[in-house]
Amino acid sequence: MKKTVRDLQVDGKRVLVRVDFNVPLKDGVITNDNRICESLPTIKYLVEHNAKVILISHLGRPKGERKPEFTLAPCAKHLSKLLSKDIKFADDCIGAVAEDAVATLQPGEILVLENLRFHKEEEKNDPEFAKALASLADFVVNDAFGVSHRAHASVEGISHFLPIAAGFLLEKEIEYIGGAVTNPQKPFAAIIGGAKVSDKIEVISNLLPKVDMLIIGGGMANTFIRAKGYDTGSSLVEEDKVELAASLIEKAKEVGTRLLLPVDFVVAQEFKNEALQKNVMADAIEDGWMALDIGPKSRELFASALADMKMIVWNGPMGVFEMDNFAAGTNAVAQAVAEADAISIVGGGDSTAAIEKSGLASEISHISTGGGASLEYLEGKLLPGIAALADKYES
């Protein structure tokens, strides 16, 4: 068991919280505040318990340089609106500027420090930088699952100077995604989509012996279809992964996992939304045509198979989801996952976008905030940010 924010005596103490405020901005305006909203339970808890709250985060990829377009000032301003509370902002995350801002902070107040990645030492996990961050606080809380697969100074390095506890968001990610990997409810299904098999090999290999059913969709399904000996026309296929796909099909048989591939596709002659399209069976893709979505029979097959599951993990779209004319398969899977009487966990940008766009987010048990982190967790890897958390019963 790992320590959480509940295990800390924070009254009057300085609490440094690693949040994930890496939000999309356009002309200095936040266009999606999901990540900020996900941090609110931890922030509110600390304020209610009279802590001096110091928030640290990265934003974008400034590569160790101070770039105005990556300032966290808009996030501090937006947080102020969300909490109806004045939020202080410091123009650096270490040094005299940060130290002076922390020194004047009163219990119940919130301070946002400037972008961690304005210092190249953050991503290099520099011990002196981590030590400087730790010197600002009495306690550290990690509530940034989205970077917990990175051994950065604010995620892992800081644990060498102060013990780290999990915030409520990180605790939830550990409970749901960690639980799916180590102690899943049965029957358990995984839906893996996206463009390339190579991006998801480790996830598929790790989950195959654990799940009762594995559904493959998206561009990667074409490589599996080719592995079955079918023609794939002009579809995206990873030629160097066809043999691997064939071995995974065989492995599924060996371990007794039901592997479902699309039985039909929506195909088009061009990779664009307005392209001429038609439905064909999986073994009937002609030259000059490319599969861009799963077909209606596949949607029915997948939905029917998911109905009896008790746990479902979904990562990756079923087709070229960003084009409306090829989003039906992804939307159908979103509907099926939402309707299933199961613990449902959704990760990955396109899968999350599909759930949110369809208005089904409230029907999902857990929507992960970390794309890369959730993938690595599902691969069975121990994430640096989780490994760095203090054990609950440490002396």
| String of DSSP letters for 207-262 | HTTT-SEEEE-STHHHHHHHHTT---TT----GGGHHHHHHHHHHHHHHTPEEE--
CATH superfamily of 5-171: Phosphoglycerate kinase, N-terminal domain (3.40.50.1260)
Q: What residues contact 360, with CB distance under 8 A and at least 6 apart? A: 334, 335, 337, 338
Place of tokens 């931890």: 42
pLDDT (0 to 100) of residue 355: 86
Name the nearest CA neighbour of 259 among 291, 296, 235, 227: 227
Give me the half-sphere count of Cα atoms (radius 13 Å) on the Cβ side of residue 263: 9
Give 238's Cβ-side CA count (13 Å radius).
Answer: 20
Task: Identify the pLDDT of residue 395.
Answer: 44
Is 372 annotated in the active site?
yes
Helix 242-255, helix 197-207: angle, nearest 10: 10
Catalytic residue among 2, 35, 226, 299: 35
Give φ, ψ of 56 to 5 degrees: -125, 145
The answer regarding whether domain 186-341 maps to CATH 3.40.50.10680 reads no
Catalytic-residue membership of 349: yes
What is the edge-to-edge ordering of all strands in the sheet holding 290-294?
277-281, 264-268, 290-294
Query: What whole-number distance in Å separates Cα of residue 168 and Cα of residue 157?
Result: 21
- Asked whether 267 and 291 are in contact (CB, 8 A), the reply is yes
Checking DSSP bridges between strand 277-281 and strand 264-268, what pairing results, if any?
antiparallel
Minimal CA–CA distance to 162: which of 121, 130, 133, 134?
134
Under 8 Å between Cβ of 94 and 119: yes
What is the largest distance, in Å, between two alpha-carbon atoms of the chain? Answer: 70
pLDDT at 73: 97
Residue numbers of the chain with a pLDDT score lower than 70: 394-395
Residue of 196, 297, 310, 357 marked catalytic: 196
DSSP code string of 339-385: HSSSEEEEESHHHHHHHHHTT-GGGSSEE-S-HHHHHHHHTT---HH
C-alpha distance from residue 180 to each of 177, 188, 207, 309 (Å): 5, 9, 9, 13
35 is annotated as an active-site residue = yes
Phi, psi of 290 (to 5 degrees): -130, 140
| Residue-level pLDDT at 37 | 95
pLDDT for 136 equals 98
pTM above 0.75, yes or no: yes
Domain boundaries, the chain: 5-171, 186-341
The pLDDT assigned to 174 comes to: 93
Q: Which of 289, 193, 201, 288 is nearest to 243 (CA)?
A: 201
State the catalytic residue, choosing from 28, 349, 359, 392: 349
pLDDT score of 297: 98
Q: What is the pLDDT of residue 1?
A: 85
| Residue 31: CA count within 13 A, CB half-sphere | 5
How far apart CA 171 and CA 88 sit, in angstroms, is 27
End-to-end CA distance of the chain: 14
Contact assessment for residue 20 and residue 147, using Cβ atoms and an 8 Å cutoff:
yes
- Single out the catalytic residue among 60, 64, 178, 372: 372
CB 232 within 8 A of CB 285: yes
Question: Does residue 194 have an active-site annotation?
Answer: no
